[in-house]
């Protein structure tokens, strides 16, 4: 039986796939690239997703072929006419097609096989997540995720090409909560005493003061999340202490009581101006952000019957020694009587905790999160110091500077201590601009 040959001519040509008419929009952001070099695409297969302020649009291919090169990437801005990719296109021109039934069957089998291969390829493309690492989603879903504090790029979408829908966000959050609960349960497992305390004698169980109970959460957070380092040093405050002891009221002539803490507050502010890293917060360190504060609110640890409280001396840079001394008395009294506003415990630059009125020298104060440093002050004492080839009696104040090693290194802390020592030293009057 004579068989007429099916004549086909194949023409290879490269095709530029461009951004079609997208209305009045220009410089629209590419949020998703759905193809890669070497990938085979069919007509109407999706290539990219672009997103404006109001909507997202998927742009399909107008030809079939193999991707030669992708000309854009996620984050690029595109407009109508910009080239998306170069496609190696195969145009098939059919001439004089006269096929016997047997040949038709063979071609049908071949076509079926080809369609199966294409479908398998598309199926594979659909289940693979975008190689750029950016999840596709509509503006509505992105907003939904943002409002819940979720990074949408961490979510594996259930739709075609890994597209994220609202239900995916809900499932993701649910899984995080369950995981967090499991971790929390693991962390809260404590080692308990094998025997109760009462087995060894008489005990009394009392309720923990509310202030201490509230503070315990913050203290544990600070100690477990902040890498503490403490620098110990001594400050010669002889001249400053003599001046403080000689102060008198200009109207009554009576001796005026000004605590050393007032001078330390003023000295600390002066050092914070020179070393702004100490007046910062890095609670957003996961995103590489540091917040430098332009205000100077100094926290003062106050010992009360209810527990330790840390009110703030606001705008200490604008107040003189006398004003700071008076304010210290006021806020301390408010804390002891529980008459202080809760907001006064927040928004500080740096904290001072002093044991000077009780006793002791060096210790390791815990940083008051989200601050990055705290100054511990011990009890001053007289010491024999060798100066100018002879021993002299000097008043020495022990200080302990704890700092967050993620933002402050040892050399900077040492310089900070040296500056603080100068501010409280023999030239204190000049340094503090009294």
Q: Which residues are catalytic?
A: 405
Q: Which tokens hold the place of 241?
A: 């202490």
Residue with tokens 């305390």: 197
**Short-list 242, 261, 215, CA closest to 399:** 261
Contact 424, 235 (CB under 8 A): yes
DSSP state of 24: T
Across the strands, what pairs with 51? 29, 56
Contact 341, 364 (CB under 8 A): no
C-alpha distances (whole Å) from 12 to each of 36, 87, 410 are: 20, 11, 67
What DSSP string describes 222-267?
HHHHS-EEEEEEEEE-HHHHHHHHT-B-TTT-PBP---HHHHHHHH
Q: Cα(245)–Cα(326) distance, rounded to whole angstroms? A: 16
Contact 369, 348 (CB under 8 A): no
Sign, CA dihedral 59-65-66-68, equals: negative
Q: Which tokens hold the place of 168?
A: 């995916």
Contact 54, 143 (CB under 8 A): no
User: Rounded to an integer, what is the distance from CA 372 to the centroid of its chain?
Assistant: 14
Q: Which tokens hold the place of 401?
A: 């500077």
Q: Which tokens hold the place of 403?
A: 């700092």
Helix or strand holding residue 97 (H, E): none
Q: Cα(434)–Cα(324) distance, rounded to whole angstroms? A: 13
Contact 349, 265 (CB under 8 A): no
User: How long a stretch of residues is the chain?
Assistant: 434
Q: Exposed, middle or buried: residue 117 (CB in 10 Å: 0-12, 13-18, 19+)?
A: exposed
**Short-list 279, 273, 300, 294, CA closest to 432:** 273
Between the two ends of the chain, the Cα-to-Cα distance in Å is 118
């Amino acid at each position: 039986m004579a068989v007429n040959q099916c004549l086909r001519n194949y023409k290879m040509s490269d095709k530029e796939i461009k951004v079609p008419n997208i209305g009045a929009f220009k410089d629209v952001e590419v949020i998703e690239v759905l193809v890669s070099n070497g990938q085979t695409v069919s007509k109407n297969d999706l290539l990219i997703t672009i997103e404006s302020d109001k909507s997202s649009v998927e742009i399909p291919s107008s030809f079939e072929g193999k991707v030669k090169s992708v000309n854009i990437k996620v984050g690029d801005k595109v407009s109508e006419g910009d080239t998306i990719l170069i496609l190696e296109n195969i145009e098939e021109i059919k001439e004089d097609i006269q096929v016997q039934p047997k040949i038709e069957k063979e071609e049908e089998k071949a076509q079926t096989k080809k369609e199966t291969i294409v479908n398998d390829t598309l199926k594979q493309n659909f289940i693979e997540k975008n190689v750029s690492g950016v999840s596709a989603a509509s503006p509505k879903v992105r907003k939904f995720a943002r409002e819940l504090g979720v990074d949408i790029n961490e979510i594996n979408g259930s739709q075609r090409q890994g597209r994220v829908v609202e239900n995916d966000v809900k499932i993701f959050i649910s899984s995080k909560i369950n995981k967090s609960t499991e971790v929390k349960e693991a962390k809260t497992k404590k080692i308990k005493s094998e025997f109760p305390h009462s087995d060894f004698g008489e005990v009394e169980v009392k309720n923990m003061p509310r202030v201490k109970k509230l503070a315990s959460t913050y203290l544990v957070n600070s100690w477990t999340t902040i890498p503490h380092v403490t620098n110990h040093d001594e400050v010669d405050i002889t001249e400053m202490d003599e001046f403080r002891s000689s102060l008198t009221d200009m109207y009554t002539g009576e001796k005026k009581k000004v605590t050393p803490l007032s001078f330390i507050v003023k000295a600390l502010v002066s050092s914070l101006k020179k070393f702004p890293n100490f007046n910062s917060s890095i609670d957003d360190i996961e995103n590489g952000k540091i917040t430098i504060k332009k205000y100077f609110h100094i926290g003062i640890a106050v010992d009360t019957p209810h527990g330790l409280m840390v009110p703030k001396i606001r705008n200490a840079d604008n107040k003189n020694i006398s004003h700071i001394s008076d304010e210290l008395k006021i806020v301390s009294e408010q804390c002891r009587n529980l008459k202080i506003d809760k907001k006064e415990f927040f928004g500080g630059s740096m904290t001072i905790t002093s044991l000077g009125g009780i006793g002791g020298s060096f210790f390791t104060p815990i940083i008051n999160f989200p601050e990055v440093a705290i100054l511990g002050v011990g009890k001053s004492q007289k010491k024999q110091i060798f100066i100018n080839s002879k021993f002299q009696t000097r008043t020495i104040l022990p200080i302990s500077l704890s700092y967050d090693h993620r933002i402050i290194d040892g050399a900077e802390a040492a310089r900070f201590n040296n500056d603080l020592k100068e501010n409280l030293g023999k030239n204190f009057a000049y340094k503090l601009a009294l």
